[in-house]
Amino acid sequence: MEIKKGIAVSPGISIAKSMVIDSEDYRIPYRAIEPSQRTSEIRRVKKAFSDAIEELNQLEESYDNKGSQIKDIFAVHNRFLHDRSLQKKISDMIRSELVIAEYAISNTFREIASHFANEKDAYISERAADIFDIARRVLKHLLGKKREEIGNITEEVTIVARELSPIQTAGFDKKFVKGIASDVGGRTSHAAIVARSLGIPAVVALEDLTSVVNEGDTVIVDGNRGIVIVNPDENTIAEYNEYKDEFTELGYKLNTLKEKPAITRDGTKVTLLGNIEFPNETQTVLEKGGDGIGLYRTEFLYLNTTTEPTEEDHYNAYSQTVKAMKSKPVVIRTLDLGADKYTQSKRFVREPNPFLGLRSIRFCLQNLMMFKTQLRAILRASVLGNVKIMFPLITNQQELMQAKMILHDVMEDLSDEKIEYNQKIPVGIMIETPSAALTAFSLAKEVSFFSIGTNDLTQYTLAVDRGNELVSTLYSTADPAVLRLIRTVIQDAHKAQIDLSICGEVASEPEYIMLLLGMGVRTFSLASPMIPEIKQIIRSVTITDCNKVARKVLSMNSERHITSYIRNAARKIIPEAF
Ligand code: PEP
Ligand code: MG
């Protein structure tokens, strides 16, 4: 039995056999072959290389914006895929070690990548990432079918991985994927956010978990305490089964709050909205008693396809959600691509600092066709219900004006084409950069609402990567610098009399609720499985107490003191939440 401690990112307990996968869902099996199979395995290698070359050529043709950096990347990939000595090395391994093609390819590429990674010259050492990319490209053609099997898991498993992308996580079937455990990641990394939305217990930042777990080991994921136990003994399993039942019982109790309002003991009404990534999550928002959708992360529509979604693809997704929510609000956020949410083609553009690079609204403003396609679809869906548009990662007034101007152009086009849309559709922005927070007073004049994205606001204020476990102890929204920015935004929104909500992960963290209520937040948007718990907290507190907590916290200078103070304050009132 081995116990590992990581960061709890999605609550709940699971006990299941492990399935170990790599970052592209590949399980690289080691299998010995008979000498008579050598020729057919070598033929499989050749075929995989030629399929990969064909795929690369098609991708290169479809990529319309070929800057010199992209050309370089295509050139590197092409050179490797055409390198006969590389294919010979792989074939030699199959011949001499009698192993299957997948294993020989994976091993050979790994060996080359490690040579590159050890080079002192930064340009050469950075090519190691390209080598892994090329290996994945080739393996994809060999393992295509096995890869699909991961999407079609038919028995209960715990997924164990070094790192998971948001799109991998989104593809998991909750019926069979009972728990998630990864070596890397942070509480607000997008894979963690998706796990929380799906309600799958998850623990990240377990460092070397993948090196101690073998496929088929029994693994307990304790998403409440951030613990993972590999091959637990019988007593531990019994103890955890009991704990799991208690947790399920608590969930049933909380669900009875569905029809009750989110109102404090002294009568202040609070609105609880859901964050979603896919239209089918709308159902969970309604089941959990959400008052609407406060953040629709539309980029997920983009991530798992190699082709650009059409206007109809966008429209179908939005109309389905809007219709299901009837008259309840649906805030559709325009594409927030980039950083850890990249498109298939954007994978080729390796940015040195992707979180500071061409992401989000910046990416949209440089890809107008794509942006306008989405805006048309949102506007068309706006007549079906209560739709609002939200622009992400605004950093200055000019960017906002540009985005609004494009929206206006699209509206004119629709009017010319006599297509119906809501001409008064509310337009808002996310406040998730310090520059937007510090100029909130002027941005407020241009929009109908703000939504504070604390995940990015914390990352950019403290200069701490939200997904990097090496600096995860430095990442805290309770830092006085972040809280001061949040306070400024709330005050400026109130002064300008525009709506304000908070949609970062702190909206689902029990210890933050009293503080945020005391700071003046009345609308929270969060992972829908957490709505009942947060509602119970709201129903247990008074605004008078919350105001006291906020006043005290805003006079404090240390993140550590603030964190322990808000936890204690919340624990006193609602001990069962901790
Ligand atoms: C945020 O940054 O707080 C946010 C809600 O957006 P995302 O997590 O999608 O970046
Ligand atoms: Mg964000």
Ligand that comes closest to the CA of residue 451:
1
Answer whether residue 563 is part of any domain.
Answer: no
Model confidence at 53, pLDDT cuts 50, 70, 90, reads very high
The whole-number pLDDT of residue 136 equals: 79
Residue to probe by mutation, ligand 1, list 187, 188, 273, 512, most atoms within 8 Å of CB: 188
Q: How far is CA 299 from the centre of its chain?
A: 10
- Three-state secondary structure readout of 257-301: CCCCCCECCCCCECEEEEEECCHHHHHHHHHCCCCCEEEEECCHH
Domain containing residue 57: CATH number = 1.10.274.10
Instruction: Check whether residue 447 and residue 513 sit in a common domain.
Output: yes
Instruction: Check whether residue 200 and residue 101 sit in a common domain.
Output: no
Mean pLDDT over all residues of the chain? 90
DSSP annotation of 227: E
- pLDDT at 65 exceeding the cut of 60: no
The whole-number pLDDT of residue 454 equals: 98
Instruction: Check whether residue 492 and residue 521 sit in a common domain.
Output: yes
Among residues of the chain, what percentage have pLDDT more than 70? 91
Highest mean pLDDT among 17-26, 183-192, 349-358: 183-192
How far is it, in rounded angstroms, from Cα 116 to Cα 38?
29
Residue to probe by mutation, ligand 1, list 9, 296, 432, 464, most atoms within 8 Å of CB: 432
The verdict on whether 546 is a catalytic residue reads no
Answer whether residue 546 is part of any domain.
Answer: no
Tell whether ligand 1 has an atom less than 6 A from the beta carbon of residue 91.
no
Higher-confidence residue of 155 and 306: namely 155
What distance in angstroms lies between residue 452's CA and the mean position of ligand 2's atoms?
9
Q: What is the mean pLDDT of residues 501-524?
A: 97
Instruction: Check whether residue 88 and residue 8 sit in a common domain.
Output: no
Instruction: Check whether residue 159 and residue 283 sit in a common domain.
Output: no
Instruction: Check whether residue 135 and residue 196 sit in a common domain.
Output: no
Other C-beta atoms closer than 10 Å to the C-beta of 73 total: 16
Ligand that comes closest to the CA of residue 341:
1
Q: What is the mean pLDDT of residues 135-160?
A: 76
- DSSP calls for 149-207: HHHT--S-EEEEES---HHHHHT--TTTEEEEEESS--TTSHHHHHHHHHT--EEE--S
If one counts the domains in the chain, the total is 3
Instruction: Check whether residue 392 and residue 415 sit in a common domain.
Output: yes
Instruction: Check whether residue 382 and residue 528 sit in a common domain.
Output: yes
Tell whether ligand 1 has an atom less than 6 A from the beta carbon of residue 508.
no
Q: How confident is the model over 167-178, as pLDDT tens digits? A: 778 778 889 999
For residue 461, report the phi and psi dihedrals to the nearest 5 degrees: -75, -40
What sign does the dihedral 169-151-111-126 (CA atoms) show? negative
Q: Cα angle vertex 224, ends 522, 188, to 5°?
A: 55
Tell whether ligand 1 has an atom less than 6 A from the beta carbon of residue 455.
yes
DSSP annotation of 334: P
User: Which tokens is 347 given?
Assistant: 């994978």
Are the beta carbons of 536 and 261 closer than 8 angstroms?
Answer: no
The whole-number pLDDT of residue 23 equals: 54
How big, in percent rounded to 5, are the helix, strand and coil portions of the chain? 55, 15, 30
Which of 22, 25, 73, 572 lies closest to 349 in space, CA to CA?
73
Other C-beta atoms closer than 10 Å to the C-beta of 527 total: 29
Domain containing residue 10: CATH number = 3.50.30.10
Ligand that comes closest to the CA of residue 508:
1
> What b/e sequence results for 234-262 when a residue is b if at least 16 CB atoms lie within 10 Å of its CB, and e otherwise?
eebeeebeeebeebeeeeeebeebeeeeb
Q: What residues make up the domain containing 205?
A: 2-23+149-253
For residue 207, report the phi and psi dihedrals to the nearest 5 degrees: 60, -85
- Residue where one domain finishes, among candidates 195, 228, 253: 253
Choose the catalytic residue: 77, 190, 314, 546.
190
What distance in angstroms lies between residue 560's CA and the mean position of ligand 1's atoms?
24
How far is it, in rounded angstroms, from Cα 15 to Cα 227?
12
Tell whether ligand 1 has an atom less than 6 A from the beta carbon of residue 503.
yes
- pLDDT at 203 exceeding the cut of 90: yes
Tell whether ligand 1 has an atom less than 6 A from the beta carbon of residue 336.
yes
Q: How far is CA 181 from the centre of its chain?
A: 15
- Residue where one domain finishes, among candidates 253, 277, 310: 253
Q: How confident is the model over 100-117, as pLDDT tens digits? A: 898 899 888 877 877 776
The verdict on whether 364 is a catalytic residue reads no
How far is it, in rounded angstroms, from Cα 469 to Cα 209?
14
Are the beta carbons of 379 and 414 closer than 8 angstroms?
Answer: yes
